[in-house]
């Protein structure tokens, strides 16, 4: 029987129903809450497309079971990253640098970069590359992605 699970998503309480409490957070976000920023890529924790923030840390929601979360933990998706009606500086920088081709990886790149810049406001290029090394982009937009993160670092 489906159980109701309470979460906090993008600053608001949310309730999802799951037959299995170990269902990945990604499924609840996309299918129950209609939040399609996080993408289903590999489903194995390897590509980063599904990245969200939990209490400010970038995590891979395809391998994070609902049972590991509490209603007190703050989950933020791409939809909730900006504030006050404005895009987050990383989102704006990706637009300004045209750092998107197919876009499939971009949720993960932005969410990972935003969490990274919150801990390192003046990264050099090597720092940025290292931070994003495990986020896969099949289109090869890496150079523009790195430029966007550098641009955002100047604005955060
Ligand atoms: S879909 Fe989660 S890491 Fe690939
Ligand atoms: S822009 Fe297509 S996978 Fe990165």
Q: Which ligand is nearest to the CA of 144?
A: 2
For atom 4 of ligand 2, the residue with the nearest CA is 137
Q: Which ligand is nearest to the CA of 45?
A: 1
For the entire predicted model, the pTM comes to 0.96
- What is the side-by-side strand order in the sheet with 12-18? 12-18, 3-9, 74-76, 51-54, 57-60
Q: From CA 82, how far away is CA 11, in angstroms rounded?
A: 12
pLDDT tens per residue across span 92-150: 999 999 999 999 999 999 999 999 999 999 999 999 999 999 999 999 999 999 999 99
Contact 111, 52 (CB under 8 A): yes
Report the separation in Å between the CA atom of 134 and the middle of ligand 2, taken as the mean of its atom positions: 14
Within 13 Å of residue 43, how many CA atoms lie on the same side as its CB? 3
18-51 pLDDT, tens digit per residue, is: 999 999 999 999 999 999 999 999 999 999 999 9
**Residue whose entry in the numeric block shows the structure tokens 């404005």:** 86
Output Rg (C-alpha) for the chain, integer angstroms. 15
Residue 103 Cα: closest atom of ligand 2: 1
Ligand 2 atom with least separation from CA of 138: 3
Pairing of strands 51-54, 57-60: antiparallel
């Amino acid at each position: 029987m489906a159980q109701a699970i309470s979460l906090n998503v993008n600053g608001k309480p949310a309730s999802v129903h799951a037959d299995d409490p170990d269902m990945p957070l990604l499924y609840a976000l996309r299918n129950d809450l209609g939040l399609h920023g996080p993408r289903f890529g590999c489903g194995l924790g390897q590509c980063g497309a599904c990245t969200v923030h939990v209490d400010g840390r970038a995590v891979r929601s395809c391998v994070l079971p609902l049972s590991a979360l509490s209603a007190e933990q703050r989950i933020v998706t791409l939809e909730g990253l900006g504030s006050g009606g404005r895009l987050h500086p990383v989102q704006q920088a990706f637009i300004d640098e045209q750092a998107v081709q197919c876009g499939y990886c971009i949720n993960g790149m932005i969410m990972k970069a935003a969490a990274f810049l919150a801990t390192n406001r003046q990264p050099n290029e090597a720092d940025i590359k290292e931070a994003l090394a495990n986020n896969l982009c099949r289109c090869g937009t890496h150079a523009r992605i790195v430029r966007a993160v550098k641009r955002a670092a100047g604005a955060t």
